[in-house]
């Protein structure tokens, strides 16, 4: 199973870009990188995902290196409400069942400071 | 705005009692996941279903936990008998196989005394 490595915590000033790194050096060619975040006492929230190309949506941008061994989630203008735990996940295909097991690591705790 | 709903939101019970947690996935979603979150272990996958069929429940303690989907609009997670170490937040998530994105409910906060 491909696993991810993230720094345990990061700080970011309000209004600045938050760049959250993730290493997934054992990722397979057909596995996607997903990002979720969890604000205190709430359920995890989907942010963005990608396979090879960089992706952008209304919440964030995802930059995936050419070798796909690492990625960076970018929150372009962080606000206090972006303070949360951010999870980088590689979606694992589960054998012949067609199911997809999702393994959450410890994530990165992002503190956005005024 | 479609959402996953979970009931109850909070549950306090005594050791040995049966606990049933319910989840209503987003209409049309064909995968359902149950997770448990504790400070020590983080988010753990307990079980997941595709088209109501259980695909993997290897994360669940088999002797006391059971997960079912009696119909497409209801998923249940039962603990019998409950133990203090089961105290945690239990999340349900749903999604589409084709999409892969999971949408999480607000969770059930369980405290077993």
The answer to whether A91 contacts chain B (CB < 8 Å) is: yes
Q: Taking residues A23-52, what's their average pLDDT?
A: 91
Inform me whether the pLDDT recorded for A78 exceeds 50: yes
pLDDT at A99: 57
pLDDT at B9: 97
Answer yes or no: are the C-beta atoms of B48 and B104 closer than 8 Å: no
User: Confidence class of residue A2 from pLDDT cuts 50, 70 and 90?
Assistant: low
Inform me whether the pLDDT recorded for A92 exceeds 50: yes
**DSSP codes joined into one string, A31-98:** PPEEEEEE-TTS--EEEEEESSS-EE-SS-EEEE-TTSSEEEEEETT--GGG-EEEEEEEPEEEGGGT
pLDDT tens digits, B34-93: 999 998 888 999 998 988 988 888 888 889 999 999 999 999 999 999 999 999 999 999
A43, A46, A106 ranked by CB distance to B101: nearest: A46
> Who contacts B61 (Cβ-Cβ below 8 Å, separation ≥6)?
none
What is chain A's mean pLDDT, rounded?
Answer: 90
Measured between beta carbons, the chain A residues lying within 8 angstroms of B52 are: none
Nearest-Cα distance to chain A for B31, in Å, is 9
Inform me whether the pLDDT recorded for A96 exceeds 50: no
Put simply, the chain A residues between 7 and 36 with a CB less than 8 A from any chain B CB are 32, 34, 36
Answer yes or no: are the C-beta atoms of A51 and A62 closer than 8 Å: no
**Residues A45, B104: C-beta atoms closer than 8 Å:** yes
Nearest-Cα distance to chain B for A94, in Å, is 9
Answer yes or no: are the C-beta atoms of A32 and A22 closer than 8 Å: no
Q: What is the CA radius of gyration of chain A?
A: 14
pLDDT at A60: 97
Q: Taking residues A13-41, what's their average pLDDT?
A: 92
Put simply, the chain B residues between 45 and 74 with a CB less than 8 A from any chain A CB are 45, 48, 50, 55-56
**What pairs with residue A38 in β-bridges?**
A85
């Amino acid at each position: 199973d491909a696993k991810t490595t993230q720094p345990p915590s990061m700080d970011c000033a309000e209004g600045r870009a938050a760049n959250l790194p993730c290493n997934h050096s054992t990722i397979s060619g057909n596995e996607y990188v997903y990002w979720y975040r969890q604000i205190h006492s709430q359920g995890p929230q989907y942010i963005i995902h990608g396979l090879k190309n960089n992706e952008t949506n209304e919440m964030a941008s995802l930059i995936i290196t050419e070798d796909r061994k690492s990625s960076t989630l970018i929150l372009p203008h962080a606000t206090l409400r972006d303070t949360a735990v951010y999870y980088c996940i590689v979606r694992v295909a589960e054998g012949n069942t067609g199911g997809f097991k999702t393994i959450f690591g410890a994530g990165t705790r992002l503190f956005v400071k005024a | 705005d479609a959402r996953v709903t979970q009931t109850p939101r909070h549950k306090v019970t005594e050791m040995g009692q049966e606990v049933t947690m319910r989840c209503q996935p987003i209409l049309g979603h064909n995968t359902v996941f149950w997770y448990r979150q504790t400070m020590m272990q983080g988010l753990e996958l307990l079980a997941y279903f595709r088209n109501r069929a259980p695909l993997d429940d290897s994360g669940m303690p088999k002797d006391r936990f059971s997960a079912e989907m009696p119909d497409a609009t209801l998923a249940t997670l039962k603990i019998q008998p409950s133990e203090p170490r089961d105290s945690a937040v239990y999340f349900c998530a749903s999604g589409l196989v084709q999409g892969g994105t999971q949408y999480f409910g607000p969770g059930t906060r369980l405290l077993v005394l």
